[in-house]
Amino acid sequence: MQAYDLIVIGAGASGMAAAIAAASRGASVLILEKNKQVGRKIRMTGNGKCNFSNLRQGRFAYCGADPDFAVRAMEKFGLKETLDFFFDLGILPYEREGCLYPSTQEAVSVQKALLCRLLKLGVSIHTGESCRGFAAVRQKDFRYRVTSVDLKSQSKGDYLCRSLLLASGGKAAPASGSTGDGYYWAEKLGHRIIPPAPALVSLKSDWPLLEDLAGLRLQAGIQLLIDGREAAYDQGEIQCNRDGISGIPVLQVSRDASYALDDGSLVSARLLILPWLAMEQRKEKLSEILFGMQKESLESCLQGILPGRLLGLLKEWTGYSLDRRVGGLDAREREDLLSRLLSLEIPIVGTGGYQQAQTTAGGLATDQFSSDSMESLLSPGFYAAGEVLDIDGICGGYNLQWAWTSGCLAGADIAGERHL
- For the stretch 263-278, pLDDT in tens is 999 999 999 988 888 8
pLDDT of residue 298: 92
pLDDT of residue 62: 98
pLDDT of residue 418: 38
419 pLDDT above the threshold of 50? no
pLDDT of residue 128: 96
CA pair distance 365, 343, nearest whole angstrom = 38
CATH architecture under which domain 2-198+359-414 falls = 3-Layer(bba) Sandwich (3.50)
CA pair distance 181, 369, nearest whole angstrom = 19
315 pLDDT above the threshold of 60? yes
The arithmetic mean of pLDDT across residues 287-298, rounded, is 86
- Nearest-Å Rg of the Cα atoms of the chain is 25
pLDDT of residue 178: 85
Exposure string over 225-250, b if 16+ CB within 10 A, otherwise e: bbeeeebbebbbebbbbebbbbbbbb
pLDDT of residue 420: 36
50-59, 69-78, 321-330, 355-364, range with the lowest pLDDT: 321-330
Residue 25: C-alpha distances to residues 39, 111, 414 (Å): 22, 21, 9
The arithmetic mean of pLDDT across residues 80-104, rounded, is 97
Higher pLDDT, 420 or 361: 361
**C-beta of residue 356 within 8 angstroms of C-beta of residue 244:** no
Most confident option among 179-188, 195-204, 326-335? 195-204
Give 215: exposed, middle or buried? Use CB within 10 Å, 0-12, 13-18, 19+: exposed
Q: Are strands 156-166 and 392-393 parallel, antiparallel or unpaired?
A: unpaired
85 pLDDT above the threshold of 90? yes
pLDDT of residue 282: 86
Mean pLDDT of all residues belonging to the chain = 94
15-19, 61-65, 124-128, 289-293, range with the lowest pLDDT: 289-293
Region of 165 (left: φ > 0; alpha: ψ -120 to 50; beta: rest) is beta
pLDDT of residue 278: 85
pLDDT of residue 417: 57
pLDDT of residue 44: 85
Which run of H or E residues covers position 166? strand 156-166
Higher pLDDT, 294 or 114: 114
106 pLDDT above the threshold of 90? yes
Proportion of the chain above pLDDT 90, given as a percent? 84
223 pLDDT above the threshold of 60? yes
The arithmetic mean of pLDDT across residues 295-305, rounded, is 90
E strand segments, 78-154: 93-96, 99-102, 124-127, 129-139, 142-150
**Which are the contacts of 204, defined by CB distance < 8 A and separation ≥ 6?**
243, 244, 348, 349, 350, 351, 352
- For the stretch 157-195, pLDDT in tens is 999 999 999 999 999 999 888 889 999 999 999 999 999
Give DSSP secondary structure letters for 224-269.
EEETTEEEEEEEEEEEEETTEEESHHHHHHHHHHHHHHHTT--EEE
The arithmetic mean of pLDDT across residues 386-392, rounded, is 98
Q: At what angle do helices 13-23 and 398-414 cross, to 10 degrees?
A: 30
Q: Where in the chain is the domain with CATH 3.50.50.60?
A: 2-198+359-414
CA pair distance 152, 22, nearest whole angstrom = 29
The arithmetic mean of pLDDT across residues 14-32, rounded, is 98
36 pLDDT above the threshold of 60? yes
**C-beta of residue 93 within 8 angstroms of C-beta of residue 86:** yes
